Chain A
């Protein structure tokens, strides 16, 4: 499948040098990485976007906005950064592991997992339908390969990832644990319990990415409950913080993830503040919270698809 092809490319990309951040205002150095061929990632991003809008359109429900905003990130993470095995094993020993904490962006998660070879791409057509393994929010309960924890009720994924990261250390497993969170999700108190614990216990094999899109269901995060200065908050909690301003640019994301990995293992958990555009890649879904949790109609689907060419074959 595609996976094997991408894995062979990983070795070409992984050792490309990247600019080291200065700690306070890291920004990606795309000029170096432009030497790496990331066209295959961009092709995949276009296909995953198609998968997202087709999934939610088919059942007239789901969350396209956040899914589209995180497409570049998850595509890059799974295909260029993580060392993982689509022959899924729950314990994931000696593999990099990822936990999706903001489970409502399941459409992008499912598409990325399927196209990485965890389960047949055709199964995306069962999204949110009765008896599916692709539940509205991700779950282990139906045995979908690639999912290690249920998420949907927000704020829980960082705690889970910490537990897994600490067990990796106990087991002498040097691989990393990654998480993704919405910025609105940071309003949940458990996140900060987890953030405090991770720093106090030097869980430095954890890289938590915050999808900073500034939007949540009721409006902008600024209007609903202002998050304040996230960099200062995480730094005050004892984390090493990286900002990726171009959170929808695969080169910038790749650089940010490499930088995060470089900073891991040094006594601090690492946080990436990933600034994204909700609904990215579908122009009428961008720039507002309106498409957080609604699906496109037939005309809107056609328009969304016209903006994202089929590159690897629709399911």
Chain B
């Protein structure tokens, strides 16, 4: 099986920040807005390099979303930056009316998504944001897995016309996708070919899925690993083809099992190729304080549980 090398732990938010820094130099239409979290979002370099194109809006996320929508009128490409909770749930109606329904070319960039922001606890750990955003007509929803992919995605969404939700996180995690790789919105990435079970993962859990594949391989189980970085539009063809090959599916995400990647995959399979599926996700619950590793273990969002679910779903074939 193919072994992916971790070239050194890095945070996905830095991938966003470095991507934005590059965009600042290459695309004069890119503007950035932040709601008092410039350091957390790694937007400092853009702000320092282009003060005239950086807009500090203070702790006023609703206003930020409206301003971003208005900035598209006149040709700018606004990137908003705040935590995932404040990027979605707090400002849902502003995104819905002023951005999505108004067809505005705004890039909503959200750090500290999922459980892995850790100790801050449930007020900051939104586990519903993928669901909220994928339900908005016309919204592209992206959840990247590592530093390199987040940087590539940041560059790619600037070139894509239309509203985008880009979801990434706080902790330093394995960096294993190619440096300067091409990011194709809506295109699944098959990381590992396999024949016994398909594991479809997004975000931080892609690396966990690869680790699970190693455990399964030692047991003689051949797992196919698909990285779904774009939850909407979903690469349905890749999912259906893999399900036809392996006959069973595990989905893995740092999100509620209601409304997340798993449900999008289940809908696809129900419509085109009904297949047994198990969900690695939080189970309709809020998060809590703890270290990222403790939280992933407690809520079963790790390689060990992915491997368990793989064996469970294989038994259901």
Contact = CB atoms under 8 A, between A and B. Distances in A.
Interface of A: 90-93, 97, 99, 139-141, 148-153, 155-168, 170-171, 173, 189-190, 193-194, 196-197, 200-201
Nearest to B74: A167
Contact of B101 (A90, A150, A157): A150
Nearest to A177: B70
Given A140-B102, A166-B70, 17 more contacts: A148-B73, A149-B70, A150-B97, A153-B93, A156-B62, A159-B65, A160-B69, A162-B70, A163-B68, A163-B71, A164-B70, A173-B74, A190-B63, A190-B94, A196-B60, A197-B57, A201-B55
Contact of A163 (B58, B67, B96): B67
A91 B103 CA distance: 13
A194 B73 contact: no
A152 B97 CA distance: 8
15 contacts: A140-B101, A148-B73, A149-B70, A156-B62, A156-B66, A159-B66, A162-B67, A163-B78, A165-B70, A166-B70, A167-B73, A190-B94, A196-B60, A197-B63, A201-B55
Nearest to A165: B70
| A153, A170, A200: residue with the most chain B Cβ atoms closer than 10 Å | A170
A101 B103 CA distance: 17
A91 B70 contact: no
B96 to A, nearest CB: 8
Interface in B10-59: 31, 52-53, 55, 57-58
Contacts of B66: 156-160, 162-163, 190, 194
Interface size class of B (residues with CB under 8 A): 20 to 34
B103 A140 contact: yes
Given A91-B74, A150-B98, A197 B67 contact: yes
Given A149-B69, A190-B66, A197-B63, A164 B97 contact: no
B94 A166 contact: no
A161 B70 contact: yes
Contacts of A140: 101-103
Contact of A164 (B62, B64, B71, B103): B71
B75 A159 contact: no
Nearest to A153: B97
Given A160-B66, A162-B66, A167 B98 contact: no
A139 B65 contact: no
B62 A159 contact: yes
Nearest to B56: A201
A156 B94 contact: yes
A151 B96 CA distance: 11
B52 A159 contact: no
B32 to A, nearest CB: 13
| A92, A93, A159, A194: residue with the most chain B Cβ atoms closer than 10 Å | A159
Nearest to B64: A159
Contacts of B57: 197
Contacts of A153: 93, 96-97
Contacts of A168: 74
Nearest to A99: B70
Interface in B59-111: 60, 62-76, 78, 93-94, 96-98, 101-104
Nearest to A157: B66
A160 to B, nearest CB: 4
Nearest to B94: A156
Given A149-B98, A170-B53, A91 B75 contact: yes
| B31, B63, B71, B76: residue with the most chain A Cβ atoms closer than 10 Å | B63
Nearest to A137: B97
B71 to A, nearest CB: 4
A310 B58 CA distance: 51
A204 B86 CA distance: 28
Contacts of B67: 159-160, 162-163, 166, 194, 197
Given A91-B74, A160-B70, A161-B70, A141 B62 contact: no
Contacts of A163: 66-73, 78
Contact of B71 (A99, A139, A166, A189): A166
A238 to B, nearest CB: 14
Contacts of A161: 70
A229 B119 CA distance: 44
A92 B97 contact: no
Given A156-B66, A190-B66, A139 B73 contact: no
Nearest to B55: A166
A193 B70 contact: no
| A141, A161, A163: residue with the most chain B Cβ atoms closer than 10 Å | A163
A156 B76 contact: no
A159 B98 contact: yes
Contacts of A201: 55
A162 B70 CA distance: 7
B72 to A, nearest CB: 8
B62 A189 contact: yes
A190 B65 CA distance: 10
A93 B74 contact: yes
- 10 nearest A-B pairs in the assembled complex, by CB-CB distance: A159-B66, A163-B70, A193-B63, A167-B74, A163-B67, A160-B70, A193-B60, A163-B71, A164-B70, A190-B62
A91 B73 CA distance: 5
Contacts of B74: 91-93, 164, 167-168, 170-171, 173
A152 to B, nearest CB: 7
A138 to B, nearest CB: 10
Contact of A159 (B63, B76, B101, B104): B63
Nearest to A143: B103
B108 to A, nearest CB: 14
Contacts of B65: 159
